[in-house]
Amino acid sequence: MRRIIFEKLNNTRDLGGIETKDGSAIVRGKLIRSGRLGIGSEEDIERIGKMVSAVVDFRSDNERTETPDPEMPGVENIHIPIIDDLAAGVSRDQKSDREAFMMLANDPEGSMQYMCRTYEGFVTSDSARRGYRQFVDLLLEGRDNAVLWHCTAGKDRAGFATVIVLEMLGVDRETIIQNYLRTNDLIEDDINGMVGMFFKVTGSGDQNTERALRYMFSARREYIDAAYASIERNYGSFREFLIDGLGLTEEDISKMREMYLEHGTPCSNCE
């Protein structure tokens, strides 16, 4: 769980160095998760361009229009939308944010249940599974430099993509969940800003409202647990989800491990 230090891209992490259950470690500089890149400084984007060969964007068309990914010479930009354009709390274009506030801002338990259903949808939705299969196929192609994947905050769509990668590589579940929850520390300022913006725009707000908003815009164990529970209900195990849900093969899983596992080495630019 190593964050790469940038000026503005706070939730950008190299999966390299994470250990697997058999004592191997993920290769450094090949698998990077992030949030939207369009908020990065010029220096951030220049550095990203030197690190990656491909950027996978899981966002909706609306999100991409509002905050486009920067063009980087020699970097392939691949759009793999995971959910419909409108998904409160997950799709983060302006329309979705307004809908999120209208639907859920005064209902903390409703907000949590909504997000749990969204994570279940990553498992049960045909379009989401097709998107994640396309993402895995891209990783299996291999690149000279890293593949970076992101959504907007880097917690939900990109977060579940990271779960798939780490499960394929044989990382234990608690480490995977802690990697997912680490997002909260890295986007805390963004979450505070969203809550503050709502109170400013509406001129009102209370503890109930703040809880509801934080449920929508945070990574919570309940959400990732809901995805795992959905996998177990529908497929029996994560491995069966990979095979029957995503249509991968045992050879694909073995190839992923051959490509991205080794003994770890220190990272000089991570924390």
Q: What is the model's pLDDT at position 62?
A: 87
Asked whether 29 and 14 are in contact (CB, 8 A), the reply is yes
Task: Examine residue 31 and state whether it is found in any structural domain, yes or no.
Answer: yes
Task: Examine residue 270 and state whether it is found in any structural domain, yes or no.
Answer: no
Measured torsion, CA atoms of residues 178, 180, 182, 187, in degrees rounded to the nearest 10: -170
Task: Examine residue 244 and state whether it is found in any structural domain, yes or no.
Answer: yes
DSSP string across 22-47:
TS-EEPTTSEEEES-STT--HHHHHH
CA atoms within 13 A on the CB side of 266: 1
Contacts of residue 235, defined as CB under 8 A and 6 or more positions apart, other chains included, come to 241, 244, 245
156-212 confidence digits (pLDDT tens) = 999 999 999 999 999 999 999 999 999 999 998 888 887 887 777 766 667 888 888
Averaged pLDDT, 225-254: 98
Model confidence at 268, pLDDT cuts 50, 70, 90, reads very low
What are the CA-CA distances from residue 150 to residues 12, 13, 240 (Å)?
Answer: 9, 11, 25
Name which of 54-58, 97-101, 233-237 the model is least confident about. Answer: 97-101
Model confidence at 107, pLDDT cuts 50, 70, 90, reads confident
Q: For residue 33, give both structure tokens.
A: 């998760």
Distance (Å, whole) CA 16 – CA 26: 5
Structural domain harbouring 222: 2-84+92-260
Task: Examine residue 266 and state whether it is found in any structural domain, yes or no.
Answer: no
CATH classification at residue 202: 3.90.190.10
- Mean of per-residue pLDDT scores for the chain: 89
**208 compared with 128, residue with greater pLDDT:** 128
Task: Examine residue 217 and state whether it is found in any structural domain, yes or no.
Answer: yes
Task: Examine residue 271 and state whether it is found in any structural domain, yes or no.
Answer: no
Task: Examine residue 269 and state whether it is found in any structural domain, yes or no.
Answer: no
Domain tally, the chain: 1
Averaged pLDDT, 24-38: 96
Q: What is the model's pLDDT at position 84?
A: 65
pTM for this entry:
0.89
Task: Examine residue 267 and state whether it is found in any structural domain, yes or no.
Answer: no
